[in-house]
Amino acid sequence: MSEFEGKVAVVTGAGGGLGRCHAIEFAKRGAKVVVNDLGGSVDGTGAGDAADAVVQEIVALGGVAVANKASVSDREGAQSIVQTAIDAFGRIDILVNNAGILRDKTFKNMTLDEWDLVISVHLNGTAYVTHAAWPLMYAQNYGRIVLTSSGSGIFGNFGQSNYGAAKMGMLGLMNVLALEGANHNVRVNTLAPGAATRMTNTVPGRAEDVEAPPAERHPKLVSPAVLFMCAENAPNGAVIHAASGSFSMSQIVVNQAVELGVDATYEDLEPLGERLMDMTGAKPRERRPARRR
């Protein structure tokens, strides 16, 4: 038996691409899955039945799944995603926040509506669904939550300021939730994936067959990292990169401080700029202990 046997997993944006693969991999290992997807286009417009198609696919494989077609960026819709798990299966053990859209433009040409929409779906949508699941996981002293970031946020990518800001926001949210959930066995981690999907095909110069993606770019090669972050012995507060069968971890590190004291001025710091920017021997900052509340 798999350790996921009988667990209840919610995967948002699971009507295709990465989310579909995550949902199928959980279901293949005996988890009961809520497949959420609005069914719209990559830019967030429209709606459809993509979630139903994935549910049918899981059932055909012998798995158990139900569909939810709410938008994560709508507060009531986000609540309904978690409620679907409770109504169908009585609990929620795993939440994979995968849903997202793109509205790529350089910052100079981007409208504030395009900024707000991407932030709303990615960052707010993740917070809304997680907020609905959080008290249930907290009360049962068990939960595994995955947030989905991107290299665009962690390292930057031209023309994706709205997307990059939302994706880097996942790390800030994770850092806090990993502390707040620790004493109740609720572990929160972040995925930074790379694969051929409808979203990546909107990037200029990228034209991959997402229906039959290249073997090395298949979304299913990302899913092992998601299951790793949702396992019984999952890490807490980790950022895992997954692409093409390659898996790695990134951390924020801090170098040795330049100590100038309480009378420090710019004139004191300026000649020591090279030392300030030297990352030799930099280390991760020690995580603050969780407090019980």
The reply to whether 163 belongs to the active site is: yes
Q: Which two tokens mark 106? A: 């350089």
> Which of 128, 138, 142, 163 is flagged as catalytic?
163
Is 130 exposed, middle or buried (CB count within 10 Å of its CB: 0-12, 13-18, 19+)? buried
- Largest alpha-carbon pair distance within the chain? 70
DSSP-derived pairing of the beta strands 283-284 and 246-250: unpaired
By annotation, the residues acting in catalysis are 163
